[in-house]
Amino acid sequence: GAVLVRVAQSHIRIGTVQYFASRQDGEALEILIDHVMRRHYPDAMQDFAPVRNMLDRIIARQARLVAQWQSLGFIHGVMNTDNMLLSGETIDYGPCAFMDEFDAGKVFSSIDHGGRYAYQNQPHIAHWNLSVLTQSLLPFLDDDPDQALASGQAAIDAFPGIYQSAYLDRMRGKLGLTDPQDGDAVLIQDLFGLMQDGQSDFTLTFRRLADLADPETAPHSEVGGLFELPATFTPWLERWQQRLASDSLASSERQASMYAANPAFIPRNHLVEEAIFAAERHGDFEPFHTLLDILARPFEFDEELARYALPPRPEQVVTQTFCGT
């Protein structure tokens, strides 16, 4: 037997608020809001509009969280309102997966038949879920229904801008850019276009870019022997190098920061399957513990562990994940 314990600041979800709102249980909602505020957003209690302040903070946390997912190729799999915490943490990601080759429309979850929760849809789904939260909180935003609606609309309308800012910050960090410039979004978008066309490995592409960030160390790169960028990347790489030249960070510092932003190891699906199979079929937990130790230090590349950085061979590819995974 075993006990699986999920640890989070709390397990209060958007769906929790939605549940009481759907029952029109204002008393329970008031108690819940007070608890959430005291536990997660105590500073909001000092504001002249505490519930709006709390809502703004929840929206900002979720925007930053999803930006982190997108920057790592993480696909949650079941992003309904009952699987989004008000604390802004990731939870209930049973069929989650980190993608190998980049595909903006990638879906792994066995229950996501229509691709609702595909990688590219995650920011939009988060926005939609937060609009449900906002609607559930309207009676507590203002006594005047029109004012409450205006306040809620302003809160939810802020999500795209907060998300985009957080996403660009994460992606600039992955590309070694410290001084924001107007063309950065296009540079990032074009990179993902090349990755999509070439079915490039998400994680190794960015780790390889970190190798190339310092010309002096590039010949002695970490993953160059495991993965190389195709020739189609050459024009983009030239644009990127020109962009780096206009940045204030020294090459060695840039490379170190990129290694710290781009993991060498992720829980690749075929490795997770290997660990599960060994434990289930043979009672052998060594693959599990080995993988766990490696993932505890995802940014530290070790040549002796290189196989754990590699994408799956064709016969190892996992196309579907399940809530029990």
Q: Which of 82, 103, 184, 247 is catalytic?
A: 82
Give the model's pLDDT for residue 237.
97
| Residue 312 DSSP label | P
- Yes or no: say if 12 and 41 are a contact pair by the CB < 8 Å rule: no
Q: How far apart are CA 194 and CA 171, in angstroms?
A: 16
Both tokens of 304, joined, read: 């002796």
Q: What is the pLDDT of residues 27-62, one digit of tens each?
A: 999 999 999 999 999 999 999 999 999 999 999 999
Residue with tokens 């509009």: 49
Give the model's pLDDT for residue 325.
61
Report the Cα 32 to chain-centroid distance in Å: 28
Q: What is the pLDDT of residues 202-218, one digit of tens each?
A: 999 999 999 999 888 76
Q: How far apart are CA 225 and CA 230, in angstroms?
A: 13
Q: Residues 6 or more apart from 208 whose CB is under 8 A from it? A: 221, 223, 224, 227, 228, 229
Parts of the chain with a pLDDT under 70:
1, 218-220, 224, 324-325
Give the model's pLDDT for residue 323.
82
Give the model's pLDDT for residue 322.
87
- For residue 117, the SS3 value is coil
- Domains of the chain, by residue range, sit at 14-166, 178-325
Give the model's pLDDT for residue 1.
66
82 is catalytic: yes
Both tokens of 97, joined, read: 């997966």
Q: How far apart are CA 211 and CA 220, in angstroms?
A: 8
